[in-house]
Structure 1
Amino acid sequence: MDPSTGQWDECLVRDTFCAEDARHILQMPLREGVHDFVAWQFDSKGIHSVKSAYKMHMELKSMRKNGGVGRSTAKAGNLNTCNDDSWKRIWRLPCPRTVQMFTWRLRHESLALLTNMQRRGLKVKSTKCFFCGHADEDGGHLFIKCKSVKVVWRELALEKERRELGAISSVHAMMDYLWGLNILKRMQILTFWWMWWSARNKLRKGERVLTAAEVARRTRSSTLEYMQVFLPEPKPQCTDKWRPPAQDMVKFNVDGAFVPGELHAGWGAVARTSDGEVVGARAGRQELIQDAFAAEAVALSNAVSFASDLGIIRAEFETDSQLLAEAMDIRKVDSSAYAAVIEDTKYQLKL
């Protein structure tokens, strides 16, 4: 740090660290009076949780599988923006949790298929399909190629999709294919597979199973019900573009602009009275910004300084960043990478 300015000594940092590390260090905001604290860099709020640890474990596992290497630095919360979002889209499916869990197990190839059990060292009397008794029971046969399951595909008028899925050998590619279909067909296939898996388990226990026509009928009715119950209703368009503050207050509308890949951001603030009269406006550019949240935090900090310069005591600040609004809660101590800026802004607002 430069003792005269209280900021990073850029030349020293760049001479000491490699270019990538230096870039991340210089992006860390500094403020006087803020002490060091322990934070979990893989969470946007700096808080460690089992969820974020699991995400890190899965990312490291994927990197080892693909022969990748680790990084010495990474921006806060980067696990929430990983390239593989296949697990996220499963939990967003418009269906009950049981169907989502089945899809998750299908995606991770963890269904108790006979061939899977044998491959994992479990003793099975036979790996033959419970429906036809001819071929080995794997996912491709049970859900796509078995003569019994083909009848359900035809009942659902999805023979074309069945043939295209039959030509795919990878489970991951198969799931990508399903997400390329429209949502109704996707839900019909996943619901049908879930029901077929339930029928298979009943058949294994010697219980009576539904006919192919009944499975198809229940698939169609259940899918329509899921779409009605679980799909979110369209949000009504907001016609009130600007809400005036109280009579004796001035409202500051604040916004930050960030382009991924750039190392800077723009910010702007407009102050209006309750009558909508513009008191003032200010905009600027901030260097060494690494994400959109940092841009919003810097915008709010500059807006508070702007209000101070105007001599406005009773002010209201509005931002479109929900994460920033939560971070500004004075009852909580922020532990994110931008804690210095956020806590300094809170302090200014108290004055």
Structure 2
Amino acid sequence: MLLPQAPVVNHLGFSNFIMTGSHWDYVRLASFFTNDIVSHIVGILPPSIVGGHDFVAWKGTNSGVFSLASTYELLLSDSWNDVDSKWRHILSVPMPQRIQVFFWLPIRERLMTNVEHWRRGLTNDPSCPCCGCYRESVLHIL
């Protein structure tokens, strides 16, 4: 199965994905990234658009410049998948299995939030029905 190709843009920073009012531009993010990546990005507060120069940097090297060798080293290290390490930590704590499953749901983003309903096309509104927050995500629920 072939995945759709994202547009190639050389000079694109986070400020290009922020709407006025310091909210993420979901439509623009979805045009460049998969739904999993978009859900991770919007779970982070957007950076201030007046905070200074925005640039792209690769976390695999100290210089911020991408290299295939640094990617290979990152994939070999255990630190690149923080979700699995969180899950391993939860499993190491002695607790009933039903509580471990309760923790597994938000870590794997398996709770049916309004954002997930919106992503699947089941609703037109990703906001929280209780407080009106513009995005009812897993982090918002917890």
TM-score by length of 2: 0.35
Q: Which has the higher helix share?
A: 1
Larger radius of gyration: 1
Instruction: Give the structure, 1 or 2, with the largest relative contact order (CA under 8 Å, sep 6 or more).
Output: 1
